[in-house]
Amino acid sequence: MRVDWAFKPLGEICNVVGGGTPSKHNPAFYEGDIPWATVRDMRDEILSRTEFKISPEAVKSSATNVIPLGNVVIATRVGLGKVCLLSQATAINQDLRGIIPKSKNLDVRFLFRWLQSVSHIIEAEGTGTTVKGVKLPFVKSLKMPLPPLPEQKRIVTILDEAFAGIATAVANTEKNLANARELFESYLNSVFSQRGEGWVDLTLKEVCKDYGRGKSKHRPRNDPKLYGGAYPFIQTGDVRNSDHLIREYSVTYNEVGLAQSKLWPKGTICITIAANIAETGILDFDACFPDSIIGLVVDEAKASSAYVEFLLQSVRSILKAKGKGSAQDNINLATFENEKFPFPSLEMQLAIAGSLQEIRSAVRQLEFIYQQKLNALAELKQSLLQKAFSGELTADKDTSDVIRKVEEVA
């Protein structure tokens, strides 16, 4: 840390302003022209548009406050640690705080970048069971470096230039990542839409030895006496997080749990029908699962399990669309009862599944590489912020270093 810099509590040099939510029982409150921000609106560094706008009467009748344009808002509850600059005067809800400098000796963009540098500290301080938050005294107590105003502006100029290069690299990497995923999806869909000679349409039940929903009869389902044994209990999140094979689980049934459920064999195809709709995976071990998952034990004399799982992946978007519209999105067994799917010869199924597996492996490798690049760029950004607010940032050296590192990552 620079010994010649002053360090002062944030509450001493800034006004920290809270927010609130106007009553939902008065629709007129939400028919005004004053932007009203929640964490959902904090998509980019600049908060320029909000989902809701409220009236002056709504501001007067609630705890919300209008933060003048050009100032900073930070999430201190939901989305803990997110920071944005305001492009217009904006009212805020109770999950946000407006940070307004008390004097012109503090550059707002310097304040913004410093809050970015301590966002991980704010996030780590969060407490709470369902939603974590930090209290006002903690926010006000954060010690902020306060170099002379020209030095603040110099640091901001360096950071803005460096971050522009990082942002471009991130955007390009994210685009490449999306393209890699789209490549596989496109090929997957084309395989099952271009049927050849000898293909037939069959229901899933016609190619399965066992087919149905999982079982979890006991109520309440979270009764502790069901758990802690030797039998894996798969849930929708385990299916969603799998990559073709379901290899991990976090919960097990004991003998009591097994007695009110069903043990499905290794190789069973799982497809989720609630919560995480139409996610698929193949069990890599014997396991139980609830009725929010359908199990398919394929008759290997008629079909390939790998082929069927890829087939279900190809219609995922259609299945998800069928599950929309209820309080909790879901589909059911009847969705599949009369649905027919294309099946070539077993030999062809195995060839198709093998080809798709090779392509998926290549795409997964690309995804890994691109994700590593994104992680490296995020670390580079955080490293720059740390150097900036410890007084170690120099224009020529650090800017050229950043350009070199961005080029290496890209």
Query: Residue 410's closest CA among 165, 205, 206?
Result: 165
Query: What fold is seen in the domain 200-343?
Result: Adenine-n6-DNA-methyltransferase TaqI; Chain A, domain 2 (3.90.220)
Contact between 66 and 91 under an 8 Å Cβ cutoff? The reply is yes
* The pLDDT value given to residue 398: 55
Provide the CATH number for the domain formed by 6-147 in this structure: 3.90.220.20
* The pLDDT value given to residue 403: 60
- Say how far apart CA 405 and CA 280 lie, in whole Å: 39
At 154, list the tokens. 């110099």
* The pLDDT value given to residue 395: 59
Query: Residue 238's closest CA among 188, 205, 285, 177?
Result: 285
User: Could you list the mean pLDDT of each consecutive 10-residue stretch along the chain, which spans 410 residues?
Assistant: 84 97 95 96 95 97 97 95 97 97 96 95 90 94 94 91 89 90 86 85 93 92 94 95 92 97 97 86 97 94 95 82 54 75 94 92 91 91 89 65 63
Cα 330–331–332 angle (5° rounding)?
130
Check for a shared fold between 6-147 and 200-343: yes
- Say how far apart CA 225 and CA 111 lie, in whole Å: 53
At 139, list the tokens. 């926010």
Residue type, 325: G
Contact between 374 and 410 under an 8 Å Cβ cutoff? The reply is no
Give the start-to-end residue ranges of the domains of the chain. Answer: 6-147, 200-343
Provide CB contacts within 8 A for 136, sequence distance 6+. 16, 18, 76, 97
Cα 82–85–90 angle (5° rounding)?
100
At 366, list the tokens. 């690309």
- If phi > 0 it is left, if psi is from -120 to 50 it is alpha, else beta; for residue 244 that is left
Reported pTM: 0.71
Query: Residue 4's closest CA among 293, 404, 397, 391?
Result: 391
- Say how far apart CA 63 and CA 316 lie, in whole Å: 44
